[in-house]
Amino acid sequence: MRVALLFGGRSGEHEVSVMSARSISAALTDNGFDVLAVGITKEGRWVFIDKPELIFEKGYTEVTADLGPSCYVLPDPSRPGLWIDGRLQEDGLCRDSPLPLQSAGADRDMDVDVVFPVLHGSFGEDGTIQGLLDLSGLPYVGSGTLASSVCMDKDSAKMVMSYHGIPFVPYVKVQRWLWKNKRDEVLQELLADLTYPVFVKPSGSGSSLGVSKVKDADGLSEALDYAFLFDVKALIEPAQEGCLEIECAVLGNEDPRASVPGQIIPSREFYDYEAKYIDTSTRLVIPAPLDEGLTAQVQEISIATFRAEGCSGLARVDVFVDTADGSIRVSEVNTMPGFTDVSMYPKLWEASGVTYSRLVEELVHLAVDRKTALERRFWV
């Protein structure tokens, strides 16, 4: 089976995606899959990388246009697979005539069976890539267009949770246009209602990019300005003081299952980008120090959230657990969580008896199953 691995992307989480792709590529190869590596530059150019193991071994953290010829998928199910703007020759030059994607100097058929879009954040995890792949007719790992889009936008995701009666961290929404035009009025209203500390975060950003912890009123305005660099909506949430920060991995399509939960103990002020991917002193406690009853509740709420949001394949559900009263509140849902060596999602499944290699293989098969089920529903 041939798997096209998409990574990089037009996102602030570009480097994380490349790191995730390195581990996934190795696992796919070990499982006998034929891997086609497609890197996406920060400017959005798709690049076919003929020998991805070389860039991964050299520690590349960014996809650049000089790594290979441009390639693309067409929004036309009658012309599936990957396409290239010319054939990559042994001299490294690219001929300009559009041809079916070929490897260096070889006439290898480049049809694609499954796409694995290990893209985090904007233009990858937000439904954009998923919509393109739906139009192309290619099966892909992860949630569909709607679920990806909804879960990427924390405001929309919490609206869905509210409708389904799923407990979540309360929030106040601020829109950029209103902040820009009526800043003083909005600020006065917020200052009258908020109790500190609070977190200010972009509604549609991942990996804690654009997130600030605000301890008093003096820092609120600056935190909102920062959040609006990443999105047109910002959420203000009360800090969940005294609660355990818990993550639970969900795997499956119509009959999902949940991993053992894990606890995050960040070494920094909060679990920000550096704490997730750079600072190795952040502690991951797996399994989380929860009794049997709370563990089961976290798993049940995670699966209920997965289903309510319409997710497929995989998701990581982040929650806060108040051990004093046993309450659980969902923070957010990540439809394409990190897959690096230190990422929580694969570690949770490893602790649940599913190895990294087996996890990646199952995700590929779930993608095929989902596509088959959708086609059956369409034609019935």
The pLDDT tens digits of the residues spanning 189-207 come to 998 889 999 999 999 876 5
Residues 229 and 156 in one domain: no
- Residue 371's nearest CA partner among 35, 115, 124 is 115
pLDDT band at 94 (very low <50, low <70, confident <90, very high): very low
Q: Which of 134, 153, 247, 332 is catalytic?
A: 332
Higher-confidence residue: 114 or 111?
A: 114
Quote the pLDDT of residue 88: 47
Q: Is 257 a catalytic residue?
A: no
DSSP letter, residue 252: E
Pick the catalytic residue: 13, 153, 231, 309?
Answer: 13
pLDDT tops 50 at residue 105: no
Domain of 19, CATH number, reads: 3.40.50.20
**Based on the domain organization, do 251 and 105 belong to the same domain?**
no
Residue 20: pLDDT over 60: yes
pLDDT at 110 over 90: no
Residue 297 domain-assigned (yes or no)? yes
Kindly state whether residues 264 and 221 are assigned to the same domain. no
Q: Is 334 a catalytic residue?
A: yes
User: Is a pLDDT exceeding 70 seen at residue 95?
Assistant: no
161 and 288 in a common domain: yes
Catalytic residue among 245, 272, 318, 361: 318
Distances (CA, A) of 1 to 84, 177, 220, 355: 20, 48, 51, 20
255 is catalytic: no
Q: Give the distance from CA 359 to its chain's centroid.
A: 16
Domain annotation covers residue 146 = no
Range of the domain at 177: 172-238
What is the reported pLDDT for 340? Answer: 86
Q: pLDDT tens, 149-191? A: 999 999 999 999 999 999 999 999 999 999 999 999 999 999 8
Sheet of strand 83-84: strand arrangement: 71-72, 83-84, 99-100
Percentage of residues of the chain with pLDDT beyond 90: 72
* Predicted local distance difference test score (pLDDT) of residue 318: 97
Residue 268: what pLDDT? 64
97 and 205 inside one domain: no
Which among 68, 124, 127, 338 is annotated as catalytic? 338
**What pLDDT band is residue 104 in, cutting at 50, 70 and 90?**
very low
Q: How many CA atoms lie within 13 A of 365 on its CB side?
A: 9
Q: Do 291 and 192 fall into the same domain?
A: no
Question: Which one is predicted more confidently, 305 or 371?
Answer: 305
68 — pLDDT class (breaks 50, 70, 90):
confident
Q: Residue 13 catalytic?
A: yes
Catalytic residue among 277, 302, 356, 370: 277
Is 318 among the residues known to form the active site? yes
Q: What is the pLDDT of residue 281?
A: 72
Report the pLDDT value the prediction gives residue 374, as an integer from 0 to 100: 79
| pLDDT range class, residue 78, cuts 50, 70, 90 | confident
Confirm if 334 and 316 have CB atoms less than 8 A apart: yes
Kindly state whether residue 161 falls inside one of the protein's structural domains.
yes
Q: Give per-residue pLDDT as tens, 262-301.
A: 999 987 665 555 555 555 678 999 999 999 999 999 999 9
Mark whether 207 is an active-site residue. Answer: yes
Q: How far apart are CA 233 and CA 222, in angstroms?
A: 15
The answer on 79 and 155 residing in a single domain is: no
Residues 6+ apart with CB under 8 A from 20: 7, 118, 120, 338, 339, 340, 343
Number of domains, the chain: 3
Q: Do 157 and 184 lie in a common domain?
A: no
- Stretch 21-38: mean pLDDT: 95
CB–CB of 45/69 below 8 Å? no
User: With bands split at pLDDT 50, 70 and 90, how would you rate the model's confidence at 86?
Assistant: low
Q: What is the mean pLDDT of residues 233-252?
A: 96
Catalytic one of 22, 87, 316, 329:
316
User: How far apart, in whole angstroms, are the C-alpha atoms of residue 77 and residue 227?
Assistant: 39
**Per-residue confidence at 59, pLDDT binned at 50, 70, 90?**
confident
**Do 17 and 136 sit in the same domain of this protein?**
yes
Q: Dump the DSSP string for 123-168.
A: TTTSSHHHHHHHHHT--BSS--HHHHHHHHSHHHHHHHHHHTT--B
